[in-house]
């Protein structure tokens, strides 16, 4: 029986083992001035674990608050940008609390890597999904029941099976983590029907804390997660959405392939990246074309055979410098930290998708590019797809609205990051200095007169013609179509000689993007006036338009993740050492050490185990296993 000194209360976290309580008690009693000590045993051990297992020196707020809440047995909803450090938020409480942390994740292809990464840190992790044999699954179930697991990853479809639920009811469980929680949202493109059944968790295991995590930022999805997963009582932890290391760049499309090639050759010749296209066919065409240009590029879309997809994904994760050309089917939860660029060759439908897709760049915090080109044709194509899709009128209107916001971001002349974050109600005071608009402020011109001409020619031709014909009329063309419709007699005919074809396209594009004109899809892309254009047409409002530049030269400040003063030979030698370990273990190189850890080694040149242990990301297990080999590389190099 333990006896507390007077004046001391200990607030133990719920669910601590007796032995841990005793350990905490001894720790406290060892402290001299105990009279007013309020000691949080759980947080201290969380800190120890952060340090000794993960090799990090401090939490990134609000990681500490989230971890604290879970350890105390509360539920949490976590919204954090990609790369923010969501995984630690459940991994550490799972280690502190008694029992096994159960992680529900839709990313079967990644479970193996996640588990390998945990095991390299000395954490007892396993997974249960359809890739296991019956015997393998049995063994894991046995280990779970015997309390031999710290973390268990389960696919959602497996989780909701009756026998899995039975198993979990008998096993010691420390917490449930619901990763990629936005999959519960029926509006999003990542919807998983099995996620709806996760409300069971609350009903079957009311005592066990739950944490739902997502990087999807919009408020509607957040509300849906809360209600579908019954997280009304959960603490909400919303980190800022900024990804400061990503440089946002959006340019006008004129010769997509040449523009893209120049970007790759100038800035990312040997880097891993993701290229997004709208159609399956286009991903294959672009991947093939990149191969002919000497790049290691692979296509990825839902129409490819499952083995091909798995093979391409694993090459992307394991080999260095692979480019994946994909539809939006690729990327959810892709954990590769060293993706140096995400390129959009087609316009995403919403700012949410743009943010999510670009967010896959630079998870390691090193400089990365979000590069996009777009044109009027993209807008027309997207509107067509939307119009043709199933869904209520209300849904279509909402989608239309979201596309308009995306277009607004493309045409904006002020800081893109401010606008992007503003969309998620995350206000940023100053312009960022790391987007194309900040690096090379776009020129604007007074487009009021031109806009009025464009609107009136649209009106006078009865809103029945597409942009090419309207430009012909404005520029005074005398061709068959003009004569056929008597358009040479219109007052608008020939009043737009001062601008060339491209300039007029730019005017029309910006009018569409800003919602003054809409595209009538029943009439093959005929332009129509919108209510909002009246003041402009009447001359009561003026408009500033963006000057289109042919080749954007804006570049982010730092080019490679390699700092300027790093010795390239040492860097390569360390990478080679890492590659060998990765190959031995059958894991991607970054699971051994991140680029940033190698870079720190290059800069700090640790020469003994103590110094090596100070490198960020080197915990006790990795120090012991890899320290000697990497130290040898460094000392050889210095000699
Ligand atoms: P998310 O799941 O939010 O996209 P991860 O959990 O994969 O992000 O973490 C992103 C990266 O940040 C990982 O490399 C992780 O090791 C690192 N990281 C997380 N928390 C910390 C921390 N407190 N200190 C240093 N690095 C951290
Ligand atoms: Zn900016």
Residue of 557, 569, 584, 583 whose CA lies nearest to 637: 569
Q: 164 C-alpha to center of ligand 1: Å?
A: 30
- Whether 27 and 90 share a structural domain: no
Instruction: Name 142's Cβ contacts closer than 8 Å, sequence gap at least 6.
Output: none
Instruction: Provide the pLDDT for residue 287.
Output: 97
- Whether 251 and 301 share a structural domain: yes
Instruction: Provide the pLDDT for residue 346.
Output: 92
- d(CA 147, CA 144) in angstroms, rounded, equals 5
- Whether 209 and 179 share a structural domain: yes
Q: Which ligand 1 atom is the nearest neighbour of the CA of 616?
A: 25
Instruction: Name 173's Cβ contacts closer than 8 Å, sequence gap at least 6.
Output: 99, 100, 101, 102, 205, 208
87 C-beta closer than 6 A to ligand 1: yes
**Token pair for residue 71?**
């350890």
CATH code at position 204? 3.40.50.300
Instruction: Provide the pLDDT for residue 36.
Output: 35
Q: How many CB atoms lie within 10 A of CB 570?
A: 19
Residue 280: strand, helix, or coil: helix
What residue has token string 């056929």? 484
* Strands of 151-154's sheet in order across: 125-128, 151-154, 100-104, 173-178, 210-214, 76-79, 235-238
**Domain ends where: 180, 206, 238?**
238
What residue has token string 């340090």? 51
Pocket test for ligand 1, best of 87, 241, 561, 595 (most atoms within 8 A of CB): 87
Instruction: Provide the pLDDT for residue 330.
Output: 73
Q: Whose CA is nearest to atom 12 of ligand 1?
A: 85
Q: Whose CA is nearest to atom 2 of ligand 1?
A: 86
What stretches in the chain show pLDDT beneath 70? 1-44, 109, 188-189, 217, 329, 331-334, 521-523, 550-565
Ligand nearest to the CA of 332: 1
91 C-beta closer than 6 A to ligand 1: no
Instruction: Name 45's Cβ contacts closer than 8 Å, sequence gap at least 6.
Output: 20, 96
- d(CA 369, CA 340) in angstroms, rounded, equals 6
Instruction: Provide the pLDDT for residue 328.
Output: 78
* Terminal Cα-to-Cα distance of the chain (whole angstroms): 60
Q: Which residues line ion ligand 2, judged by CB < 5 Å?
A: 415, 417, 431-432, 435, 438
Q: Whose CA is nearest to atom 15 of ligand 1?
A: 85
Instruction: Provide the pLDDT for residue 305.
Output: 93
Instruction: Provide the pLDDT for residue 631.
Output: 96
- Whether 171 and 226 share a structural domain: yes
- Whether 143 and 264 share a structural domain: no
CATH code at position 482? 1.10.10.10
- Whether 360 and 398 share a structural domain: yes
In a domain, 555, yes or no: no
Q: What is the pTM of this model?
A: 0.75
**Domain ends where: 439, 459, 485?**
439
Instruction: Provide the pLDDT for residue 568.
Output: 86
- Whether 198 and 333 share a structural domain: no
In a domain, 558, yes or no: no
Q: Whose CA is nearest to atom 23 of ligand 1?
A: 59
Q: Which ligand 1 atom is the nearest neighbour of the CA of 82?
A: 4
Q: Which helix (H) or strand (E) holds 59?
A: none
- d(CA 421, CA 244) in angstroms, rounded, equals 11
Instruction: Provide the pLDDT for residue 38.
Output: 40
Q: 86 C-alpha to center of ligand 1: Å?
A: 7
- Whether 311 and 422 share a structural domain: yes
- Whether 421 and 292 share a structural domain: yes
In a domain, 551, yes or no: no
512-545: b (≥16 Cβ within 10 Å) or e = bbbbbbbbbeeeebbbebeeebeebbeeeeebeb
Instruction: Provide the pLDDT for residue 552.
Output: 53
Instruction: Provide the pLDDT for residue 61.
Output: 84
Instruction: Provide the pLDDT for residue 216.
Output: 76
Q: 300 C-alpha to center of ligand 2: Å?
A: 31
450 C-beta closer than 6 A to ligand 1: no
In a domain, 559, yes or no: no
* Domain enclosing residue 18, as ranges: 1-40
Q: Which ligand 1 atom is the nearest neighbour of the CA of 50?
A: 23
**Domain ends where: 389, 417, 439?**
439
Domain count, the chain: 5
- Whether 273 and 169 share a structural domain: no
Q: Whose CA is nearest to atom 20 of ligand 1?
A: 85
Contact criterion met (CB below 8 Å) for 181 and 213: yes
Q: Which ligand 1 atom is the nearest neighbour of the CA of 59?
A: 23
- Whether 296 and 390 share a structural domain: yes
- Whether 122 and 253 share a structural domain: no
């Amino acid at each position: 029986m333990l006896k507390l000194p007077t004046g001391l209360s200990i607030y133990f976290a719920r669910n601590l083992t007796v032995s841990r309580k005793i350990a905490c008690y001894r720790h406290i009693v060892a402290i001299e001035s105990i009279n007013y000590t309020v000691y949080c045993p759980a947080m201290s051990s969380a800190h120890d674990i952060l340090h000794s297992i993960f090799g990090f020196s401090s939490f990134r707020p609000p990681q500490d608050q989230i971890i604290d809440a879970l350890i105390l047995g509360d539920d949490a909803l976590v919204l954090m940008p990609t790369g923010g450090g969501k995984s630690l938020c459940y991994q550490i409480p799972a280690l502190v609390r008694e029992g096994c942390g159960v992680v529900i994740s839709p990313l079967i292809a990644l479970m193996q890597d996640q588990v390998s990464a945990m095991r390299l840190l000395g954490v007892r992790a396993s997974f249960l999904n359809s890739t296991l044999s019956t015997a393998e699954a049995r063994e894991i179930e046995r280990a779970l029941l015997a309390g031999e697991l710290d973390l268990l990853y389960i696919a959602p479809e497996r989780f909701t099976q009756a026998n899995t639920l039975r198993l979990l009811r008998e096993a010691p469980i420390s917490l449930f983590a619901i990763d990629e929680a936005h999959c519960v949202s029926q509006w999003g493109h990542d919807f998983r029907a099995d996620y709806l059944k996760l409300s069971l968790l609350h009903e079957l295991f009311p005592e066990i804390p739950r944490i739902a995590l997502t990087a999807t930022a919009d408020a509607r999805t957040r509300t849906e997660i809360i209600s579908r997963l019954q997280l009304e009582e959960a603490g909400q932890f919303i980190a800022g959405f900024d990804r400061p290391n990503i440089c946002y760049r959006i340019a006008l499309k004129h010769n997509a392939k040449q523009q893209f090639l120049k970007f790759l050759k100038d800035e990312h010749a040997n880097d891993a990246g993701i290229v997004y296209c709208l159609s399956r066919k286009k991903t294959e065409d672009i991947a093939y074309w990149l191969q002919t240009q000497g790049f290691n590029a692979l296509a990825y879309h839902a129409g490819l055979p499952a083995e091909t997809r798995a093979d391409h994904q694993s090459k992307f994760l394991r080999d260095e410098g692979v480019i994946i050309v994909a539809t939006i089917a690729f990327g959810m939860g892709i954990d590769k930290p060293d993706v140096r660029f995400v390129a959009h060759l087609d316009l995403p439908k919403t700012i949410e998708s743009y943010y999510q897709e670009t967010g896959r760049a630079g998870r390691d915090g090193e400089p990365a590019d979000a590069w996009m080109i777009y044109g009027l044709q993209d807008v027309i194509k997207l509107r067509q797809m939307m119009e043709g899709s199933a869904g209520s009128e209300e849904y279509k209107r909402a989608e239309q609205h979201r596309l308009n916001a995306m277009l607004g971001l493309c045409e904006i002349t002020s800081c893109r990051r401010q606008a992007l974050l503003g969309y998620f109600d995350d206000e940023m005071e100053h312009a960022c200095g790391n987007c194309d608009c900040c690096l090379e402020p776009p020129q604007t011109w007074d487009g009021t007169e031109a806009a009025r001409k464009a609107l009136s020619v649209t009106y006078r031709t009865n809103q029945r013609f597409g942009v090419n014909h309207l430009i012909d009329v404005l520029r005074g063309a005398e061709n068959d179509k003009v004569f056929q419709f008597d358009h040479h007699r219109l007052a608008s005919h020939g009043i737009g000689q001062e601008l060339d074809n491209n300039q007029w396209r730019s005017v029309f594009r910006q009018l569409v993007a800003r919602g003054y004109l809409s595209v009538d899809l029943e009439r093959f892309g005929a332009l129509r006036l919108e209510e909002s254009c009246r003041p402009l047409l009447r001359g009561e409002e003026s408009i500033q338009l963006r000057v289109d530049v042919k080749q954007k030269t804006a570049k982010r400040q730092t080019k490679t993740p390699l700092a300027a003063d790093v010795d390239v030979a040492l860097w390569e030698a360390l990478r080679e050492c890492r590659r060998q370990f990765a190959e031995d273990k059958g894991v991607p190189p970054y699971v051994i050490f991140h680029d940033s850890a190698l870079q720190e080694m290059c800069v700090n040149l640790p020469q003994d185990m103590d110094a090596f242990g100070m490198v960020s990301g080197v915990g006790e297990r990795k120090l012991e296993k890899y320290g000697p080999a990497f130290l040898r590389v460094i000392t050889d190099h210095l000699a």
